[in-house]
Amino acid sequence: MPQFQDCRDDIADLLTAGQIDAAAQRALLAIDAETPKSATMTSAFHFVGLAVRYATQGDNTAARGALDHALDIASGSSDQDDLRPQLYRHVAASLEVAGQPASAARCLETGIEYGADGPAVWQALGRARLKSDDPYGALEALSHSQRLKPSAEVVIDRILAELAVDPSPETARQSISRLESSRPTQVSVRWDFALARAHEISGDINTARAAYQRVLEHVENDLGPRELEHAKSFLST
């Protein structure tokens, strides 16, 4: 009987049910519990990320094969340093693209527990929390990212989190001023979304509508499912 047989059966059931994030998490936990050395874990986690991409494309057979391969690799060993922080970030990015921001946030939190740090990982965690409707957690992570390295992108996400925490006209007006003072030179879906949200809360419906329209013209993977649904819902009313 192959190693991790119960885990493999669980993964097959989860993929059949369309629970991509749960299948990935099940594999990650099994690999982590086996505590192989880092080079082996690197390969195993890369196959988990590949499996997520296969599953989001609707190819469950390839996804299960990739997850089986990850579990097979997990019994190996190597003398290299622990790469789990980077690997959890890799899987989190795959989950983010798959439209699973809450699962991406959990992966990033685990990566941080293993030692991941730096402004990029905290910004990614803040954005994932924001997309999964956790504005307080998003503010905490984004504030930490901003302390490590200030950036215009972090400011945009912080404004969205602040508007979610305090959707008042005064907060909206302050947000509009901050956004206009850092207008990007190129199209930025998240900047337009933040501007639209601020104008919506301030009561300027026409300006909000124009900004939401720009969002839908250029949106790719920059918005979470709830953010995208909000933009569509606003324009349909």
Residue 233 and residue 157 in one domain: yes
Whether residues 79 and 156 fall in one domain: no
**Same domain for 158 and 98:** no
Identity of the residue numbered 192: D
- Within a domain: 140: no
Same-domain check for residues 94 and 153: no
Mean pLDDT of the chain: 85
Looking at 67, 101, 116, the residue that finishes a domain is: 116
The confidence score (pLDDT) of residue 88 equals 78
Interval 97-119: pLDDT, tens: 778 889 889 989 988 998 888 99
Higher pLDDT, 16 or 219: 16
Asked if residue 23 belongs to a domain, the reply is: yes
Helix axes 189-202, 205-218, angle to 10 degrees: 160
Give the chain's domain count. 2
Asked if 4 and 104 sit in the same domain, the reply is yes
Q: Let me know whether 97 and 22 are in one domain.
A: yes
State the pLDDT confidence band at 80, using cuts at 50, 70 and 90.
very low
Whether residue 137 is contained in a domain is answered as: no
- Do 13 and 105 lie in one domain? The reply is yes
Q: What is the CATH number of the domain that holds 191?
A: 1.25.40
CB-based burial, 113-131: b 16+ in 10 Å, e otherwise: eeebeebebbbbbbbbbbb
Residues 112 and 15 grouped into a single domain: yes
- Answer yes or no: do 104 and 166 share one domain: no
- Residue 209 and residue 105 share a domain: no
32/75 same-domain check:
yes
pTM confidence score: 0.69
Domain of residue 1 covers 1-116
Cα–Cα distance, 20 to 221 (Å, whole number): 18
Is residue 141 assigned to a domain? no
